[in-house]
Amino acid sequence: MQQQIGKKRFYFFLLLILLFGTSINNKVFNEKKDLFYNLDSIEVTGLSEKFNLEIEERLNFLKNTNIFFIDGQVLIDQINNFNFIENFNIKKFYPSKILIKLEKTEFLAKTIQNNKYFFIGSNGNFINFEKFNDEVNLPIVYGKFTTKQFLKFNKIIKNIDLDHNIINEIFFYPSGRVDIKTSNNLIIKFPLENVKEAIIIANKILNNKNYNNNIIDLRVPNQLILSNE
């Protein structure tokens, strides 16, 4: 009888050792597994080396985080802090890498807001001029306007195929009406409505080599006024 009790105790002891050893092994395995999926590389491409590195450094706080639990919205929010970015693509490469491809917005014009220069991006943002002050061959936009107003006007010009390179200055008035000044000091005054039709007329005049006035006034419906004021 005592021998049987001894055997039972022995087997129970072996079972405890087996369970304890399995728990340790599972814990070690899980710890190693978690380390295996920790993010250790963030690569940003698509911009200049300077901006790629700046954005990588901003995202460094995500390193050593399990890649499965990194919320894509966190990455998007950080990228959106750089308002000169128009498009981006984020890919996770398991077990430990994230690749982010970025596309800079197109700079369409410059403007002055609160005594500071900004670029107007095709993404609808006013962009810090100091970061990109080497890009200067763009028209300057004056007046109080929204980027939505400018983009709408710019889209019409683009669709009409008016040469952007000849536009030096764009003036927005409180009424919403627009004038432009070309590189040879020609001023074109557009109406408040039917702007597309007015730009078509202006473009035909600009393509006429015999035109030598310096003002094209299209503000009055169904009238074309040419002058040298």
SS3 of 143-205: the string is CCCCHHHHHHHHHHHHHHCCCHHHEEEEEECCCCCEEEEECCCCEEECCCCCHHHHHHHHHHH
pLDDT tier, 49 (very low <50, low <70, confident <90, very high otherwise): very high
- Residue 191, pLDDT > 60, answer yes
The whole-number pLDDT of residue 27 equals: 46
| Contact yes or no for 131/117 (Cβ under 8 A) | no
- Cα-Cα-Cα-Cα torsion 88, 94, 96, 99, nearest 10 degrees, comes to -20
Tens of pLDDT, residues 8-27:
555 555 555 555 555 544 44
- Residue 50, pLDDT > 70, answer yes
Range of the domain at 187: 107-227
The β-bridge relationship of strands 85-93 and 107-113 is unpaired
Tens of pLDDT, residues 118-141:
999 999 999 988 888 666 689 999
| 135 and 219 assigned to the same domain | yes
| 118 and 212 assigned to the same domain | yes
- Cα-Cα-Cα-Cα torsion 127, 128, 131, 133, nearest 10 degrees, comes to 90
Residues 7, 4: Cα–Cα separation, whole Å: 5
| 87 and 28 assigned to the same domain | no
| Residue with tokens 């991006």, as numbered in its chain | 121
| 75 and 166 assigned to the same domain | no
User: Which of 62, 83, 104 marks a domain boundary?
Assistant: 104
Domain with residue 152: its CATH number is: 3.40.50.11690
Provide the number of structural domains found in the chain: 3
| 112 and 223 assigned to the same domain | yes
User: Which of 72, 89, 104 marks a domain boundary?
Assistant: 104
The whole-number pLDDT of residue 9 equals: 57
| 129 and 207 assigned to the same domain | yes
| 114 and 88 assigned to the same domain | no
